Amino acid sequence: MKRIKIGVFGVGRGISLAKNMMLCNADIVALCDNNEERMAKAVENIGGNVATYSDFDSFIEHDLDAVILANFFNEHAPYAIKCLERGIHVFSECISNGTMAEGVALMRAAEHSNAIYMLAENYPNMLFNREMKRVVETGTLGRIIYAEGEYNHPGDPFDIKFKKEYTYFKAHWRNYLPGSYYVTHSLAPIMAATGATPTRVTSFAVYNPTKDEIPAANYNSDNTAFMLTQNDDGSVFRFTGCARMGGHGNSYRVAGTKGQIENLRGMDGKVMLRYNPWQLPEGMEAVNLYMPDWNDPDEELIKNSGHGGGDYITCRTFINCINEGKQPPFPYDLRSAVNMSSVAILAHRSMLEGGKPYDIPDFTNEEARAEYENDYLTPFFGANGEAPTLPCCSNPDHKPTDEQVALYEKLVLNS
């Protein structure tokens, strides 16, 4: 079987994915990043025999079968399009497009390419989320009518090491990240488990500013955005973006007309599967509490992978798709990726407008594309320093205090 030649754009997060690709019949042949220190560490991490670039256009001139896009969160689409135009397969981290117009352009580019596009979303492949999908597919939960997902990651405001690595300049996307945008870790697992796709969204945020003297240059002080969607099968989802509430963890639940399954907070991956006493499947109890099994021939590789095993399985899926010449399964396919990005973008607008519902466009439809093809509204700074065109916070006037910014400059930028 041919070994796949892969390049990595963005060698911070990208290298951990690259290591998993190397376990799946792939070679890392080129790296691209403009940070010399990160590049040196990356070259060492993957064994040293690799070409290095600081310019993306030069990078994709290299002999590549596929590219891992692990650059800035909101800037994947333009680079994905360049790859698709050259017939280079794309493995794109988190949201596929930072604006609605980019979603349109990405879908159009894919239609004229023979390359594979896969959203590098790993959370559906965590053990408990795989188990939820398996149980749903047995049909014992009845018709699925509701699911919820929480990606909850509060952080220590004095974790200077984290800030140096992840918010190392004032206009960094994390300093302008709305509560709804980092959505795929909460939304993709429940889409994968249920097979449902959002068609309409509304959203509300929890504004929680602090004047404490912490090092911060963050222009969003919403602890999270809560989103509610109506889906194409009539079900409803409730989920967060990247939330900061209570204890750290990821929580999911799927409920049907006959039962429900959820992973239990703080229980190290255990799931609880419950049925109504008058609707018990044969051999089941009303309450079933257990640790799922992987039942996978690559179990040891999975267990040593990042993000609860999700990194390896997601990379393996991508390599298998290339070898088999097929697009990825739902919800890693481009249509699902753009749908989730649209949910993130339009949920933020809903929140800014007091919860106004927004229909999620289907960009396989040219009429829907025409409505959004020039919609470049964004809460982020542009790649060339262009100012944001939307506020990132539910309070549009929010900004960090002068004291917080001074501490940020002193402890994060200057030390």
Task: Give yes or no for a contact between 234 and 260, defined as CB atoms under 8 angstroms apart.
Answer: no
Provide the pLDDT for residue 138.
97
CATH superfamily, domain at 4-122+314-324? NAD(P)-binding Rossmann-like Domain (3.40.50.720)
Percentage of residues of the chain with pLDDT beyond 90 = 93
Provide the pLDDT for residue 178.
98
Pairing of strands 358-359, 287-290: unpaired
Residues 6 or more apart whose CB falls under 8 angstroms from that of 203 comprise: 180, 225, 226, 227, 228, 347, 348, 350, 351, 355
Kindly tell me if the per-residue pLDDT of 415 is higher than 70. Answer: no
**Predicted model pTM:** 0.97
Q: Which tokens belong to 153?
A: 């990651």
Q: Which tokens belong to 253?
A: 């639940």
Mean pLDDT of 114-140: 97
How confident is the model over 29-83, as pLDDT tens digits?
Answer: 999 999 999 999 999 999 888 999 999 999 999 999 999 999 999 999 999 999 9
> Domain coordinates of the chain in residue numbers?
4-122+314-324, 123-299+334-372
Sign of the C-alpha dihedral computed for residues 178, 152, 132 and 15 taken in this order: positive
pLDDT grade for 268, boundaries at 50, 70 and 90: confident
- CA gap 347, 354 in Å, rounded: 11
Q: Which fold is adopted by the domain 123-299+334-372?
A: Dihydrodipicolinate Reductase; domain 2 (3.30.360)
